[in-house]
Structure 1
Amino acid sequence: MLYGIAAATTALLLAAVLAALIRPLALRLGLVDRRRTRPVPVLGGLAVVGATCLVAGAGDWSGVAPLGSGVGQLLAAGGAVALLGLIADVWRLKTRFLLLGTAVAAACVVPYAEFGVAEGVLGVGWIAFVAVAFKGLDHADGLAGTVGVVTAFGVGACASAEVMDGLAVLLSVLAAALTGFLMHNWHPARTALGATGSLFAGFVLAAAALITRTGYDPVASTGVLFALTAVASADVLLVVLSRLLAGRPVLRRGPDHLAHRLRRLGLTPSGATVVLGSASFAGVLVGVLVHGGWVGRTGATCVACVTVSVVLLLLRVPVYGPRRLESTQVSGHLRVRNG
């Protein structure tokens, strides 16, 4: 208990200090996110990865809080995913390469002996999906960090219920590191997670959630896993549907994520993050209650129905301006007249 408090406090402070030290380096190298209203350095995720790995690794190495071979392997795979994210932050890797690399790392941590080959392959795909979905949440100040903290506490509660102490320790350290990072990421953000931190957080959370469902009914597990990651899943679903309906390339960036649409409805940047953080808390709470057997699997079904309903409603919010179409039409008229 005392070690858990000390580890969480250390991770929080270490992440906050590292984020402050890394920010000038990112600015000097020109590694910034230009999708926002102002350029924001994107190497803040290094602080989260560093604090999590150092604190959790120190507890395992000293024997005070051993992670266990499976959790240690998960942390190592998460580190590899973070390295892939760092490469993406520096050289702008395409999303399909991130999916492929994350899937390879996920294939190293899925417990095939308990799940079987078919379910294990589905688990690999799900982990890669959630990791990339968390990368998408980094489009708004404080959003990925807030959702990450809430999800880490929820998955940690599931791990504690299964007496997976090493996994619970890792998740508490990750939650603390994300909290320390949020000191610099809340609006107006001074740094962002970038692919480094968002892929790492999403990967660790998804893999940990999957491991806690080992031995459970696959259908019930699907509902629990969706509830634990409802906001990230909703963001991907909304973006993909929106771009397909608009005839835009699915992997082409645009102001069409959850927070973008909430802001168009009049919410402030912080207000949008609070709303989505609250939604994440509601979904995670249902997931934990279903996992613990306090609520039937219909609870997870309700989360899925509400999520789909919200996505369909937000699809009606206009996000793609007509500027490009208008400019194309004008240039076309000019060519006709000149011809």
Structure 2
Amino acid sequence: MLYGITAAIAALLLTATLAALLRSLSLRLGPAEGRGLPGRRAKPRAPGRVRPVPLLGGIAVAGATALVGWAGDWTGAAPLGPGTGRLLVAGIAVALLGLAADLLPLPPVVCVAGVAVAAALTVPYDELGAPAGVLAVAWTVLVTHAFRSLDHADGVMGTVGVITAFALSGCAAAELMDGLAALLSVLAAALTGFLMHGWPPARIAPGRCGSLFAGFLLASAVVQVHAERPAGPGLGAAFALTAVATADALLVLVSRRRAGRPLLRPAPDHLVHRLRRAGLTRQGVMVVTGLAAFAAAFTGLCIDLGWLGAGAAWWVAGAVAVVAVVGALRPGVRPRRDRPHAIPAPGGPVPRSLGRPGRPRPEAPGAVKVH
């Protein structure tokens, strides 16, 4: 108990410190100014100026989680065990792949393939069997990239990740998987420390490095926790624990399939984009998704602990289906091919690509960004 509290505090403070240092370093060396960084974020700061947000915050999340987790294993205070240790190594490999995607123009299929290979090396085939193991790999890839999609708005991925990690650590502790429970608690603390800088308006973003790392650890941990459970409660709890990320993934798949757009091409059709377009502020989007994640994750935890039956997951599934169907039936969103990197200041001149030169552009309360 004492080590758990100490490890959580250490991960929180270490992540917050590393994120601040990385932001300062990125602003000085130039990566935050958009030198070849795909999908950088730019926010209005003053008429004609923008405030760049670095995408290297994932290094702080992955680094702090790995350091604190391995410190506990090395000292013997919280041994990870072979399965959890292998999971952490695979997660670091996924984080490095995400970092490469932040710095280089890697095709999306490379990230998908890399996550699939990492998942194939960590899935417990002995408990699941080969057919179910293959399905678990595909599900891990889907959820991992769904967490990546949640990073389209400030603080959303971190908030959903913290809630999911805390609930999942309780599930792991109930299954007597102490090493995995400790690692998930450290991850939750690290994401909390990152939210000190990622709270909207964010000063640094996790990028693909942080979002893929957190999504992979959470998705793989869900598979390991529920590998030996009966199919009904196991599948219901697993779905509920990742309901928000799954809803976003299904919404994107259905809407892009219906519109005939490529599945891996970025577009402003994610859940957070639609919430912003509905009139919610950046803080409002984070609060709404956080409350939804809490309700779903708490349902999954109660199913694991036996407080609710597996049928409770159908309520979560119904809510996810409603979100996916209603969102997909709304008019399609076509991203501008000539979208500028800098967002025009409210009331300032509109670039030629957005309209007639010199015409004032009113502030749009439902404006969203794509990256």
Q: TM-score, normalised by structure 1?
A: 0.91
Alignment match, 1:16: 16
Partner of 2:280: 267
Name 2:7's counterpart in structure 1: 7
Q: Distance in 2 between matches of 1:323 and 1:164?
A: 48
Amino acid of the structure 1 residue aligned with 2:40: R
Contact 1:264 1:317 in 2 (8 A): no
Q: Tell me, what secondary structure is at the counterpart of 1:266?
A: coil
CA displacement, residues 110-138 of structure 1 (integer Å, 9 cap, x when unaligned): 11111111111111111111111111111
The aligned counterpart of 1:289 is 302
1:90 matched residue in structure 2: 103
CA offset digits 1:222-272 (Å, max 9, x no partner): 222111111111111111222222232222211111111111111111101
Residue 34 (structure 1) aligned to one of 31, 40, 45:
40
Aligned letter for 2:214? A
Hey, what does 1:242 align to over in structure 2? 255
Name the CA shift for 1:78/1:313 in 2 (closer, same or farther; >3 Å).
Answer: same
Cα contact 2:62–2:92 (8 A) shared by 1: yes
**Counterparts of residues 183-332 of structure 1 (less than 5 Å):** 183-318=196-331, 320=333
Contact 1:263–1:272 at 8 Å: present in 2 too?
yes
The whole-number CA distance in structure 2 between the counterparts of 1:299 and 1:318 is 32
Deviation track 1:69-107 (CA, whole Å, cap 9, x = no partner) reads 111111111111111111111113222211111111111
Q: Bigger shift: 67-76 or 35-44?
A: 35-44
Contact 2:299–2:312, Cα closer than 8 Å, also in 1: yes
SS of residue in 2 equivalent to 1:138: helix
Deviations for 1:139-197, whole angstroms, at most 9, x for unmatched residues? 00000000000000111010010111111100000000000000110100011111111
- 1:308, CA displacement in angstroms? 0.7
In the TM superposition, 1:164-183 aligns within 5 A as 164-183=177-196
In the alignment, structure 1 residue 115 sits paired with structure 2 residue 116: no
Whether the 8 Å CA contact 2:169–2:185 is kept in 1: the answer is yes
How far apart, in 2, do the equivalents of 1:41 and 1:135 lie? 16
From 149, 173, 187, the equivalent of 1:160 is: 173
**Secondary structure of the corresponding residue to residue 109 of structure 1:** coil
> CA, structure 1 residues 6+323, in 2 after alignment: closer, same or farther (shift >3 Å)?
closer
CA distance in 2 between counterparts of 1:171 and 1:321 reads 38
Aligned residue for 1:296, secondary structure, equals coil
1:261–1:319 CA contact under 8 A, matched in 2: no
Q: How far apart, CA to CA, are the structure 2 residues paired with 1:16 and 1:229? A: 25
Superposition TM-score, scaled by structure 2 size: 0.84
Whole-Å separation in 2 of the counterparts to 1:95 and 1:225: 26
Partners of 2:276 and 2:330 lie apart in 1 by 10
Mean CA deviation greater in 42-51 or 31-40:
31-40
- The one-letter code sitting in structure 2 at the alignment partner of 1:21 is L
Structure 2 distance, partners of 1:30, 1:317, is 37
Partner SS state of residue 152, structure 2: coil
The one of 97, 113, 131 aligned to 1:100: 113
Q: Determine the structure 2 residue equivalent to 1:328.
A: none
Task: Tell me the SS of whatever aligns to 2:142.
Answer: helix
Amino acid at match of 1:17: T
Give yes or no for contact 1:82–1:200 (8 Å, CA) kept in 2.
yes
Q: Does the CA-based 8 Å contact 2:15-2:60 persist in structure 1?
A: yes
The structural deviation recorded for 1:317 is: 4.4
CA distance in 1, matches of 2:231, 2:108: 28
What's the offset of the Cα at 1:321? Answer: 5.5
Runs (5+) with no aligned partner, structure 1: 325-339
Contact 1:11 1:173 in 2 (8 A): yes
8 Å Cα contact 2:166-2:184 kept in structure 1: yes
Q: Which residue of 2 aligns with 1:144?
A: 157
| Unpaired segments ≥5 residues, structure 2 | 44-50, 338-371
Aligned counterparts of 1:293 and 1:48: Cα–Cα separation in 2: 32
CA shift, 1:323, in A, is: 7.2
- Supply the AA of the counterpart residue of 2:10: T
Residue 209 of structure 1 deviates from its aligned partner by: 1.1
Cα distance in 2 for partners of 1:170, 1:322 equals 39
Q: Which residue of 2 aligns with 1:335?
A: none
Matches within 5 A, 1:41-80: 41-80=54-93
Deviates more, 1:261-270 or 1:213-222: 213-222
